[in-house]
Protein backbone atom coordinates (compact mmCIF):
# COMPACT_ATOMS: atom_id res chain seq x y z
CA UNK A 1 0.00 0.00 0.00
CA UNK A 2 1.11 3.53 -0.79
CA UNK A 3 0.36 6.43 1.56
CA UNK A 4 -0.18 9.96 0.30
CA UNK A 5 -2.36 13.02 0.77
CA UNK A 6 -5.15 14.37 -1.44
CA UNK A 7 -6.63 17.74 -0.48
CA UNK A 8 -5.29 17.38 3.07
CA UNK A 9 -6.83 13.93 3.51
CA UNK A 10 -4.54 11.00 4.33
CA UNK A 11 -5.21 8.24 1.84
CA UNK A 12 -3.66 4.89 1.13
CA UNK A 13 -4.15 2.94 -2.06
CA UNK A 14 -2.77 -0.08 -3.89
CA UNK A 15 0.44 0.50 -5.84
CA UNK A 16 -0.36 1.29 -9.46
CA UNK A 17 -3.66 3.00 -8.69
CA UNK A 18 -4.10 6.27 -10.55
CA UNK A 19 -4.58 9.45 -8.54
CA UNK A 20 -8.02 9.89 -10.14
CA UNK A 21 -9.28 6.54 -8.85
CA UNK A 22 -7.79 7.08 -5.40
CA UNK A 23 -9.49 10.46 -5.17
CA UNK A 24 -12.85 9.15 -6.36
CA UNK A 25 -12.71 6.22 -3.96
CA UNK A 26 -12.39 8.77 -1.16
CA UNK A 27 -15.20 11.00 -2.27
CA UNK A 28 -13.05 13.67 -3.89
CA UNK A 29 -14.48 14.65 -7.24
CA UNK A 30 -12.22 15.46 -10.18
CA UNK A 31 -13.95 16.41 -13.43
CA UNK A 32 -13.03 14.41 -16.55
CA UNK A 33 -14.37 13.84 -20.03
CA UNK A 34 -12.24 11.10 -21.49
CA UNK A 35 -11.51 8.78 -18.55
CA UNK A 36 -13.72 5.72 -18.90
CA UNK A 37 -13.33 2.39 -17.13
CA UNK A 38 -13.92 0.43 -20.33
CA UNK A 39 -10.86 1.67 -22.19
CA UNK A 40 -7.22 2.52 -21.56
CA UNK A 41 -6.36 6.05 -20.52
CA UNK A 42 -4.99 8.69 -22.82
CA UNK A 43 -5.12 11.90 -20.79
CA UNK A 44 -6.56 13.67 -23.80
CA UNK A 45 -9.17 15.99 -22.32
CA UNK A 46 -6.75 17.44 -19.72
CA UNK A 47 -9.64 18.34 -17.41
CA UNK A 48 -8.48 16.05 -14.62
CA UNK A 49 -5.32 18.07 -13.95
CA UNK A 50 -4.17 18.24 -10.32
CA UNK A 51 -1.12 19.63 -8.59
CA UNK A 52 1.33 17.01 -7.41
CA UNK A 53 3.86 17.99 -4.78
CA UNK A 54 6.91 15.80 -4.21
CA UNK A 55 9.46 17.22 -1.82
CA UNK A 56 10.02 20.84 -2.77
CA UNK A 57 8.67 20.54 -6.29
CA UNK A 58 5.07 20.92 -7.33
CA UNK A 59 3.85 20.27 -10.83
CA UNK A 60 0.60 19.92 -12.73
CA UNK A 61 -0.16 16.35 -13.79
CA UNK A 62 -3.15 14.56 -15.31
CA UNK A 63 -4.62 12.57 -12.44
CA UNK A 64 -6.08 9.90 -14.72
CA UNK A 65 -2.58 8.85 -15.81
CA UNK A 66 -0.52 9.54 -12.69
CA UNK A 67 0.09 6.50 -10.50
CA UNK A 68 0.10 7.17 -6.76
CA UNK A 69 3.47 7.51 -5.04
CA UNK A 70 4.55 7.32 -1.41
CA UNK A 71 4.44 10.71 0.31
CA UNK A 72 3.12 12.86 -2.54
CA UNK A 73 0.73 15.68 -1.77
CA UNK A 74 -2.08 16.21 -4.28
CA UNK A 75 -4.15 19.36 -4.51
CA UNK A 76 -7.22 19.05 -6.71
CA UNK A 77 -8.81 22.44 -6.26
CA UNK A 78 -6.16 25.05 -5.47
CA UNK A 79 -5.85 28.24 -7.47
CA UNK A 80 -3.11 26.95 -9.78
CA UNK A 81 -5.09 23.85 -10.69
CA UNK A 82 -8.29 25.79 -11.22
CA UNK A 83 -6.52 28.25 -13.51
CA UNK A 84 -5.29 25.42 -15.72
CA UNK A 85 -8.69 23.73 -15.65
CA UNK A 86 -10.47 26.94 -16.58
CA UNK A 87 -8.11 27.49 -19.49
CA UNK A 88 -8.65 23.92 -20.71
CA UNK A 89 -12.40 24.49 -20.55
CA UNK A 90 -12.13 27.77 -22.44
CA UNK A 91 -10.25 25.97 -25.20
CA UNK A 92 -12.70 23.06 -25.24
CA UNK A 93 -15.59 25.54 -25.45
CA UNK A 94 -13.93 27.23 -28.40
CA UNK A 95 -13.50 23.91 -30.14
CA UNK A 96 -16.99 22.58 -29.44
CA UNK A 97 -19.38 25.51 -28.97
CA UNK A 98 -22.36 23.19 -29.53
CA UNK A 99 -21.53 20.71 -26.80
CA UNK A 100 -23.93 20.85 -23.84
CA UNK A 101 -21.65 18.64 -21.76
CA UNK A 102 -18.76 21.09 -22.04
CA UNK A 103 -21.02 24.09 -21.55
CA UNK A 104 -22.44 22.58 -18.35
CA UNK A 105 -18.98 21.81 -17.02
CA UNK A 106 -17.92 25.35 -17.82
CA UNK A 107 -20.86 26.94 -16.11
CA UNK A 108 -20.18 24.81 -13.02
CA UNK A 109 -16.72 26.34 -12.85
CA UNK A 110 -17.92 29.78 -13.85
CA UNK A 111 -16.07 29.78 -17.18
CA UNK A 112 -17.32 31.86 -20.08
CA UNK A 113 -16.42 31.54 -23.74
CA UNK A 114 -13.43 33.74 -24.46
CA UNK A 115 -13.41 36.04 -27.46
CA UNK A 116 -9.65 35.54 -27.81
CA UNK A 117 -10.23 31.85 -28.68
CA UNK A 118 -12.21 31.99 -31.91
CA UNK A 119 -14.92 29.35 -31.91
CA UNK A 120 -14.52 26.49 -34.41
CA UNK A 121 -17.47 25.89 -36.66
CA UNK A 122 -16.50 22.63 -38.30
CA UNK A 123 -15.50 20.43 -35.38
CA UNK A 124 -18.99 19.66 -34.12
CA UNK A 125 -18.70 18.17 -30.63
CA UNK A 126 -15.53 16.15 -31.06
CA UNK A 127 -12.72 16.85 -28.57
CA UNK A 128 -10.41 14.23 -30.18
CA UNK A 129 -10.11 12.17 -27.00
CA UNK A 130 -9.87 9.00 -29.08
CA UNK A 131 -12.17 7.09 -26.71
CA UNK A 132 -14.28 5.85 -29.63
CA UNK A 133 -11.23 4.62 -31.52
CA UNK A 134 -9.95 2.84 -28.42
CA UNK A 135 -13.25 1.19 -27.56
CA UNK A 136 -13.54 -0.05 -31.15
CA UNK A 137 -10.05 -1.52 -30.96
CA UNK A 138 -9.79 -2.69 -27.35
CA UNK A 139 -13.31 -3.75 -26.46
CA UNK A 140 -15.08 -4.50 -29.73
CA UNK A 141 -11.93 -5.58 -31.56
CA UNK A 142 -12.83 -4.51 -35.10
CA UNK A 143 -11.02 -1.15 -35.39
CA UNK A 144 -13.53 0.26 -37.83
CA UNK A 145 -12.70 3.89 -37.06
CA UNK A 146 -9.57 5.94 -36.59
CA UNK A 147 -8.18 9.42 -36.79
CA UNK A 148 -7.51 10.94 -40.15
CA UNK A 149 -5.15 13.76 -41.11
CA UNK A 150 -3.48 15.83 -38.42
CA UNK A 151 -3.39 19.24 -36.84
CA UNK A 152 -6.42 21.38 -37.56
CA UNK A 153 -7.85 18.79 -39.98
CA UNK A 154 -7.68 15.88 -37.55
CA UNK A 155 -10.99 14.09 -37.21
CA UNK A 156 -12.47 10.74 -36.34
CA UNK A 157 -13.62 8.84 -39.38
CA UNK A 158 -13.86 5.51 -41.09
CA UNK A 159 -11.12 4.86 -43.68
CA UNK A 160 -11.67 7.11 -46.73
CA UNK A 161 -14.86 8.39 -45.05
CA UNK A 162 -16.64 5.49 -46.67
CA UNK A 163 -18.91 2.82 -45.25
CA UNK A 164 -16.71 0.59 -43.16
CA UNK A 165 -16.69 -3.05 -44.15
CA UNK A 166 -15.70 -4.17 -40.67
CA UNK A 167 -18.08 -2.03 -38.59
CA UNK A 168 -20.68 -4.20 -36.86
CA UNK A 169 -22.98 -1.37 -35.86
CA UNK A 170 -22.63 -2.08 -32.15
CA UNK A 171 -22.72 1.61 -31.24
CA UNK A 172 -19.97 1.33 -28.60
CA UNK A 173 -18.29 4.44 -30.04
CA UNK A 174 -21.49 6.46 -29.73
CA UNK A 175 -21.97 5.15 -26.20
CA UNK A 176 -18.50 6.04 -24.96
CA UNK A 177 -18.29 9.46 -26.64
CA UNK A 178 -18.26 11.94 -23.73
CA UNK A 179 -19.69 14.82 -25.71
CA UNK A 180 -22.21 13.03 -27.92
CA UNK A 181 -20.35 13.79 -31.14
CA UNK A 182 -20.97 10.42 -32.77
CA UNK A 183 -24.46 10.20 -34.09
CA UNK A 184 -26.44 7.02 -34.19
CA UNK A 185 -29.90 7.11 -35.68
CA UNK A 186 -32.09 4.28 -34.55
CA UNK A 187 -35.47 3.22 -35.74
CA UNK A 188 -37.16 -0.06 -34.89
CA UNK A 189 -35.72 -2.07 -37.74
CA UNK A 190 -32.55 -0.17 -38.61
CA UNK A 191 -29.63 1.59 -37.05
CA UNK A 192 -27.55 4.15 -38.89
CA UNK A 193 -24.02 4.91 -37.76
CA UNK A 194 -20.94 6.16 -39.64
CA UNK A 195 -23.10 6.55 -42.73
CA UNK A 196 -23.96 2.87 -42.91
CA UNK A 197 -27.37 1.45 -42.19
CA UNK A 198 -27.59 -1.80 -40.25
CA UNK A 199 -30.53 -4.15 -40.19
CA UNK A 200 -31.70 -5.04 -36.69
CA UNK A 201 -32.64 -8.56 -35.76
CA UNK A 202 -35.77 -9.59 -33.98
CA UNK A 203 -35.68 -11.78 -30.90
CA UNK A 204 -36.76 -15.36 -31.66
CA UNK A 205 -38.87 -15.44 -28.52
CA UNK A 206 -40.52 -12.03 -28.05
CA UNK A 207 -40.14 -10.71 -31.60
CA UNK A 208 -38.68 -7.41 -30.46
CA UNK A 209 -35.83 -5.82 -32.47
CA UNK A 210 -32.78 -5.99 -30.23
CA UNK A 211 -29.40 -6.01 -32.01
CA UNK A 212 -27.82 -5.45 -35.42
CA UNK A 213 -27.50 -8.65 -37.46
CA UNK A 214 -23.84 -7.93 -38.19
CA UNK A 215 -23.06 -7.63 -34.50
CA UNK A 216 -24.61 -11.01 -33.71
CA UNK A 217 -22.71 -12.60 -36.60
CA UNK A 218 -19.48 -11.09 -35.28
CA UNK A 219 -20.11 -12.29 -31.73
CA UNK A 220 -20.95 -15.75 -33.01
CA UNK A 221 -17.75 -15.87 -35.07
CA UNK A 222 -15.61 -14.64 -32.21
CA UNK A 223 -17.03 -16.73 -29.38
CA UNK A 224 -18.06 -19.83 -31.31
CA UNK A 225 -21.58 -19.63 -29.89
CA UNK A 226 -24.02 -20.65 -32.63
CA UNK A 227 -26.01 -17.79 -34.14
CA UNK A 228 -29.24 -19.49 -33.11
CA UNK A 229 -28.46 -19.15 -29.42
CA UNK A 230 -27.66 -15.49 -29.86
CA UNK A 231 -30.94 -14.79 -31.62
CA UNK A 232 -32.71 -14.41 -28.28
CA UNK A 233 -32.69 -11.01 -26.60
CA UNK A 234 -31.30 -10.52 -23.10
CA UNK A 235 -34.76 -10.24 -21.56
CA UNK A 236 -35.87 -13.61 -22.92
CA UNK A 237 -32.62 -15.50 -22.32
CA UNK B 1 -12.78 -15.45 -53.34
CA UNK B 2 -11.99 -12.15 -55.02
CA UNK B 3 -9.61 -12.30 -57.93
CA UNK B 4 -6.29 -10.69 -57.09
CA UNK B 5 -5.83 -7.48 -59.03
CA UNK B 6 -2.43 -6.42 -60.22
CA UNK B 7 -2.28 -3.69 -57.59
CA UNK B 8 -2.92 -6.30 -54.94
CA UNK B 9 -0.27 -8.63 -56.32
CA UNK B 10 2.29 -5.83 -56.52
CA UNK B 11 1.47 -4.71 -52.99
CA UNK B 12 1.87 -8.24 -51.67
CA UNK B 13 5.28 -8.40 -53.28
CA UNK B 14 6.31 -5.13 -51.62
CA UNK B 15 5.01 -6.25 -48.23
CA UNK B 16 6.88 -9.53 -48.57
CA UNK B 17 10.09 -7.67 -49.33
CA UNK B 18 9.75 -5.89 -45.99
CA UNK B 19 9.26 -9.15 -44.12
CA UNK B 20 5.54 -8.80 -43.36
CA UNK B 21 6.43 -6.83 -40.24
CA UNK B 22 3.98 -4.15 -39.23
CA UNK B 23 6.77 -1.95 -37.88
CA UNK B 24 7.85 -1.51 -41.50
CA UNK B 25 4.53 0.08 -42.45
CA UNK B 26 5.92 3.47 -43.40
CA UNK B 27 8.69 1.91 -45.51
CA UNK B 28 6.06 -0.23 -47.24
CA UNK B 29 3.85 2.76 -47.95
CA UNK B 30 6.87 4.66 -49.30
CA UNK B 31 7.64 1.81 -51.69
CA UNK B 32 4.03 1.66 -52.85
CA UNK B 33 4.09 5.39 -53.46
CA UNK B 34 7.37 4.99 -55.36
CA UNK B 35 5.58 2.49 -57.59
CA UNK B 36 2.32 4.34 -58.23
CA UNK B 37 3.19 7.97 -57.35
CA UNK B 38 0.37 7.81 -54.82
CA UNK B 39 -1.30 5.32 -52.47
CA UNK B 40 -4.11 3.50 -54.26
CA UNK B 41 -7.02 2.45 -52.10
CA UNK B 42 -6.73 -1.21 -53.06
CA UNK B 43 -3.06 -1.18 -52.10
CA UNK B 44 -3.88 0.09 -48.59
CA UNK B 45 -6.49 -2.64 -48.13
CA UNK B 46 -4.00 -5.22 -49.33
CA UNK B 47 -1.35 -3.95 -46.90
CA UNK B 48 -3.90 -4.24 -44.09
CA UNK B 49 -4.70 -7.84 -45.01
CA UNK B 50 -1.06 -8.81 -45.36
CA UNK B 51 0.14 -7.22 -42.12
CA UNK B 52 -3.04 -8.02 -40.19
CA UNK B 53 -3.36 -4.38 -39.25
CA UNK B 54 -6.83 -2.77 -39.38
CA UNK B 55 -7.36 -0.53 -42.39
CA UNK B 56 -8.30 2.33 -40.06
CA UNK B 57 -4.76 2.26 -38.56
CA UNK B 58 -3.15 2.30 -42.00
CA UNK B 59 -5.41 5.15 -43.06
CA UNK B 60 -4.29 7.07 -39.96
CA UNK B 61 -0.64 6.72 -40.96
CA UNK B 62 -1.29 7.44 -44.64
CA UNK B 63 -3.17 10.66 -43.88
CA UNK B 64 -0.84 11.79 -41.10
CA UNK B 65 2.28 12.24 -43.21
CA UNK B 66 2.33 14.92 -45.88
CA UNK B 67 4.66 12.82 -47.99
CA UNK B 68 1.86 10.33 -48.68
CA UNK B 69 -0.81 11.20 -51.19
CA UNK B 70 -4.11 9.38 -51.50
CA UNK B 71 -4.90 11.13 -54.79
CA UNK B 72 -3.18 10.22 -58.05
CA UNK B 73 -0.20 12.41 -58.77
CA UNK B 74 1.38 13.39 -62.07
CA UNK B 75 4.57 11.97 -63.52
CA UNK B 76 6.65 14.74 -61.93
CA UNK B 77 6.05 16.17 -58.50
CA UNK B 78 6.81 19.89 -58.46
CA UNK B 79 7.67 20.95 -54.93
CA UNK B 80 8.06 24.64 -54.26
CA UNK B 81 10.03 25.26 -51.10
CA UNK B 82 8.25 27.63 -48.76
CA UNK B 83 10.85 27.46 -46.00
CA UNK B 84 12.13 30.66 -44.43
CA UNK B 85 15.17 31.16 -46.68
CA UNK B 86 13.25 30.44 -49.89
CA UNK B 87 10.32 32.55 -48.78
CA UNK B 88 12.62 35.50 -48.17
CA UNK B 89 14.12 34.97 -51.63
CA UNK B 90 10.66 35.14 -53.18
CA UNK B 91 9.58 31.52 -53.54
CA UNK B 92 5.96 32.69 -53.47
CA UNK B 93 6.54 34.39 -56.83
CA UNK B 94 7.80 31.10 -58.23
CA UNK B 95 4.70 29.40 -56.88
CA UNK B 96 2.46 31.98 -58.55
CA UNK B 97 4.31 31.57 -61.82
CA UNK B 98 4.07 27.76 -61.68
CA UNK B 99 0.37 27.97 -60.89
CA UNK B 100 -0.16 30.23 -63.89
CA UNK B 101 2.02 28.21 -66.29
CA UNK B 102 0.63 24.83 -65.24
CA UNK B 103 -2.88 26.25 -64.87
CA UNK B 104 -3.41 24.45 -61.56
CA UNK B 105 -3.55 25.30 -57.88
CA UNK B 106 -1.29 23.83 -55.21
CA UNK B 107 -2.18 20.20 -54.58
CA UNK B 108 -3.62 19.70 -58.06
CA UNK B 109 -2.41 17.75 -61.07
CA UNK B 110 -2.24 18.98 -64.66
CA UNK B 111 -4.73 17.60 -67.17
CA UNK B 112 -2.02 15.67 -69.05
CA UNK B 113 -0.96 14.00 -65.74
CA UNK B 114 2.57 15.34 -66.11
CA UNK B 115 2.90 17.63 -63.09
CA UNK B 116 1.53 17.83 -59.58
CA UNK B 117 2.21 21.10 -57.81
CA UNK B 118 2.84 21.11 -54.09
CA UNK B 119 4.18 23.53 -51.54
CA UNK B 120 6.64 22.02 -49.08
CA UNK B 121 8.50 23.30 -46.07
CA UNK B 122 12.28 23.36 -46.03
CA UNK B 123 14.00 21.01 -48.49
CA UNK B 124 17.23 21.31 -46.54
CA UNK B 125 19.26 23.31 -49.03
CA UNK B 126 18.66 26.87 -47.87
CA UNK B 127 21.96 28.08 -49.34
CA UNK B 128 20.49 27.43 -52.80
CA UNK B 129 17.31 29.46 -52.13
CA UNK B 130 14.90 29.85 -53.79
CA UNK B 131 14.55 26.19 -54.62
CA UNK B 132 12.04 24.09 -56.51
CA UNK B 133 12.30 20.30 -56.65
CA UNK B 134 10.86 18.69 -59.74
CA UNK B 135 10.70 14.91 -59.90
CA UNK B 136 13.44 14.69 -57.27
CA UNK B 137 15.81 17.14 -59.02
CA UNK B 138 16.71 20.31 -57.18
CA UNK B 139 16.56 23.49 -59.23
CA UNK B 140 18.65 26.04 -57.32
CA UNK B 141 18.56 29.85 -57.45
CA UNK B 142 15.45 29.56 -59.63
CA UNK B 143 14.03 32.61 -61.35
CA UNK B 144 10.60 32.97 -62.92
CA UNK B 145 12.06 33.31 -66.41
CA UNK B 146 13.66 29.86 -66.26
CA UNK B 147 10.39 28.12 -65.40
CA UNK B 148 8.85 27.76 -68.89
CA UNK B 149 12.06 26.24 -70.27
CA UNK B 150 12.42 23.80 -67.40
CA UNK B 151 8.80 22.64 -67.71
CA UNK B 152 9.28 22.25 -71.47
CA UNK B 153 12.33 20.04 -70.88
CA UNK B 154 10.41 17.75 -68.52
CA UNK B 155 7.51 17.52 -70.95
CA UNK B 156 9.98 16.59 -73.73
CA UNK B 157 11.51 13.85 -71.55
CA UNK B 158 8.03 12.44 -71.05
Using a CB-CB cut-off of 8 Å, the residues of chain B touching A164 are: 56
Q: Does domain B76-157 have CATH number 2.30.40.10?
A: no
In tens, the pLDDT along A1-12 reads 999 999 999 999
DSSP A44: -
Share of chain A above pLDDT 90, in %: 79
CB A109 within 8 A of CB A117: no
Spatial strand order of the sheet with A73-75 comes to: A9-13, A2-6, A73-75, A49-54, A57-62
Question: Does residue A147 sit in the same domain as residue A220?
Answer: yes
Q: Is residue A93 part of a domain?
A: yes
Q: Distance (Å, rounded) from C-alpha A100 to C-alpha A70?
A: 39
Q: Is residue A126 part of a domain?
A: no
Residue B143 distance to chain A (closest CA, Å): 33
A residues 133-162 closer than 8 Å to B (CB): 133, 136-137, 142-150, 158-160
Q: How many residues does chain A have?
A: 237
Query: How many distinct structural domains can be found in chain A?
Result: 2
Contact (CB<8Å) A148/B63: yes
- Enumerate the β-bridge partners of residue A155: A148
Which of A157, A160, A173, A194 is the mutation pick for testing B, counting most B CBs within 10 A? A160
Q: Distance (Å, rounded) from C-alpha B29 to C-alpha B32?
A: 5
Question: Does residue A74 sit in the same domain as residue A154?
Answer: no
Q: Which residues, including other chains, have CB under 8 Å from residue A175's CB and lie 6 or more apart?
A: A135
Which segments of A96-203 does DSSP mark as H helices, in order? Answer: 100-108, 131-134, 172-176
Query: Taking the domains of chain B in order of start, what are their residue ranges?
Result: 6-64, 76-157
User: Torsions phi, psi of A61, nearest 5?
Assistant: -130, 160
Dihedral angle at the C-alpha atoms of A224, A230, A231, A237, nearest 10 degrees? 150
B residues 60-99 closer than 8 Å to A (CB): 60, 63-64, 70
Question: Does residue A138 sit in the same domain as residue A104?
Answer: no
Compute the mean pLDDT over every residue in chain A, rounded to the nearest whole number.
92
pLDDT tens sequence for chain A (237 residues): 999 999 999 999 999 999 999 999 999 999 999 999 999 999 999 999 999 999 899 999 999 999 999 999 999 999 999 999 999 999 999 999 999 999 999 999 999 989 999 999 888 899 999 999 999 999 999 999 999 999 999 999 999 999 988 999 999 999 999 999 999 998 888 999 998 999 999 988 888 898 999 999 999 999 998 888 888 888 887
Question: Does residue A90 sit in the same domain as residue A186?
Answer: no
Q: Distance (Å, rounded) from C-alpha A146 to C-alpha A43?
A: 17
Which segments of A1-111 does DSSP mark as H helices, in order? Answer: 19-25, 79-95, 100-108
Q: Distance (Å, rounded) from C-alpha B44 to C-alpha B32?
A: 9
Q: Which is nearest to A169 in space by CA: A225, A234, A123, A219? A: A219
ipTM of this complex prediction, to 2 decimal places: 0.86
Contact (CB<8Å) B64/A142: no
Which residue of chain A has the CA closest to B69?
A149
Question: Does residue A82 sit in the same domain as residue A154?
Answer: no
Q: Is B44 an interface residue toward A (CB < 8 Å)?
A: yes
Q: Distance (Å, rounded) from C-alpha A107 to C-alpha A15?
A: 35
Expressed as residue numbers, the domain containing A103 is 2-108
Q: Is residue A117 part of a domain?
A: no
Q: Distance (Å, rounded) from C-alpha A204 to C-alpha A210?
A: 10
pLDDT at res. B1: 44
In tens, the pLDDT along B58-115 reads 999 999 998 899 998 888 999 999 999 999 999 999 999 999 999 999 988 999 889 9
Amino acid sequence: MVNFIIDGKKISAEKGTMVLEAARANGIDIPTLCAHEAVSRSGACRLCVVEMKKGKRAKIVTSCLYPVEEGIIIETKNERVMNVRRLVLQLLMARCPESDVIRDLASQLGVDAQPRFAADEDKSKCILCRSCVRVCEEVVGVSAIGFSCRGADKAVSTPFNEDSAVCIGCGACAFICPTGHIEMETTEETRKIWGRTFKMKTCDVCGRYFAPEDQLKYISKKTGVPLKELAVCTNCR
Amino acid sequence: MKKATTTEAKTKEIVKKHGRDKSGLIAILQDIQEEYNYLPKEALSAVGNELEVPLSRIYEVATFYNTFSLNPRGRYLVEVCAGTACHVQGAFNLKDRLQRDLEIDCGQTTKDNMFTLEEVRCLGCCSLAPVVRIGGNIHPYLTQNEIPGILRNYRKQG
